[in-house]
Amino acid sequence: MKTTDSKNGLLKIENLQVEYITDDARVFAVNGLNLEIEKGETLGLVGETGAGKTTTALSVMRLLPPKVGRVIGGSILLDGIDIIHAGEADMRALRGSLVSMIFQDPMTSLNPVLTIGDQIAEVLIFHDRYNNRTDVNRRVDEILRLVGLSPERKNEYPHQFSGGMKQRVVIAIALACEPKLLLADEPTTALDVTIQAQVLEMMKELQEKLHTAVILITHDLGVVAQTCNRVAIMYAGEIIETGTVDRIFHAKRHHPYTEGLFGSIPDLTKKTRRLNPIDGLMPDPSNLPAGCKFHTRCPKCIDICRTIHPRSSVRDGHSIRCHLEGEGGVPVAGETAGGEQT
Ligand SMILES: Nc1ncnc2c1ncn2[C@@H]1O[C@H](COP(=O)(O)OP(=O)(O)O)[C@@H](O)[C@H]1O
Ligand SMILES: [Mg+2]
């Protein structure tokens, strides 16, 4: 397996570009995305439907739909491993042990004809974690307890569990081999509001206990405030603003898109928990506008925004990709204005 030294933490995505080829269009889903995660950190990835969040997570898992989706540029380095060029056998060994993904709908990841105990055991056996069945069984019980389910229920099938319990099973499977990175794609959206809070609280406890780094894809800013160290805001396949949660929630300056999403930023932690609807639609990803991709909806749009793709300006680790932020900011290494795909 090709490995490189990664001094910069656990995950480093640079200038990632992903497209889907459909019968009638070439969809530019991810367009020059940069993202870094340190070991044990929780990053909230926020953005409207269609922003490219799931595509980004699937790229890290190397699970883009075959023939339709493909990475056309950039690099993904996970724990020193070059994910884009790793062999298929290496990827199978990595999934579940180094990186796991929780999908939005728990039923898509559970097998309806296997008991939940067998499904957890299957992951442990696949990754050769235990020498004999007794140890596997003991670990299955331990993991079920860890996610708040009684081991006595391990011989039951998914349909015998409620939605919240099924998602706990999915989380148990994802964390069974203690991966260093967990990609949680809207893990609670399909659940009742009361159950959502319980499941998130449990995930947070587990994350702290196991020191797992998490990318939490969510629409709920209250969840970001309570659960994440950092937040990255995504629009039309790129990160337009990122920083620590503390910084983003207290900073005076933001990307106009973030301002639109958050409504009134000072009230964020108090009132505004959900993303605000913003006037206009996301641009068609098969026909993205030139310049800043947000310019067609931006209330602060100036001439340059229509033609030149803005680069990120960074102040104290808070990065904003907007022409209005240009002065005094420090360009992110390796970027040139307009140099990325538009
Ligand atoms: N299998 C696919 N075939 C074609 N287009 C796709 C496919 N999956 C996603 N897309 C498109 O890629 C863009 C990004 O989608 P996605 O990553 O699912 O966004 P998000 O998770 O932020 O809602 C959207 O325009 C979506 O329609
Ligand atoms: Mg999605």
Within 199-326, strands assigned E span 213-217, 230-235, 238-244, 312-315, 318-321
Q: What is the pLDDT of residues 136-169, one digit of tens each?
A: 999 999 999 988 899 999 999 999 999 889 989 9
Is residue 211 situated within a structural domain? Answer: no
Q: Is residue 63 part of a domain?
A: no
- 117 located within any domain: yes
Please identify, by atom number, the ligand 1 atom nearest to the C-alpha of residue 185. Answer: 21
CA distance 180 to 38: 10
In a domain, 49, yes or no: no
pLDDT, tens only, 283-299: 999 999 999 999 999 99
Q: How many domains, the chain?
A: 2
Nearest atom within ligand 1 for CA of residue 51: 22
pLDDT for the residue 327: 57
Within a domain: 218: no
Domain stop point among 155, 178, 201? 178
Supply the pTM of this predicted model.
Answer: 0.90
Q: How far is the CA of 233 from the centre of ligand 1 (A)?
A: 17
Which residues have C-beta atoms less than 6 Å from ligand 1? 20, 22, 27, 29, 47, 49-55, 65, 68-69, 285
User: Which of 178, 203, 232 corresponds to the end of one domain?
Assistant: 178
Q: Which of 12-16, 185-189, 273-277, 297-301 has the lowest mean pLDDT?
A: 273-277
Of 123, 153, 178, which residue is a domain's last?
178
In a domain, 32, yes or no: no
User: CA-CA distances (angstroms) from residue 123 to 113, 118, 237?
Assistant: 16, 9, 32
Tell whether 193 is covered by a domain: no
- The mean pLDDT of the chain is 88
Protein residue with its CA nearest to atom 12 in ligand 1: 29
62-115 per-position pLDDT tens digit: 999 999 999 999 999 999 999 999 999 999 999 999 999 998 777 778 999 999
In the chain, the percentage of residues whose pLDDT exceeds 90 is 63
Within-domain flag for 66 = no
Residue 307 CB contacts under 8 Å (≥ 6 apart), including other chains: 290, 291
| Residue 191: pLDDT band with limits 50, 70, 90 | confident
Domain hosting 166: range is 109-178
Greater confidence (200 vs 117) lies with 117
Phi-psi region of 52 (alpha: psi -120 to 50; beta: other; left: phi over 0): left
- Would you say residue 302 has pLDDT above 60? yes
Per-residue model confidence (pLDDT) at position 341: 40
* Atom 26 in ligand 1: residue holding the nearest Cα: 50
Distance 207 CA to ligand 1 centre (A): 28
What ligand 1 atom has the least distance to the C-alpha of 47? 22
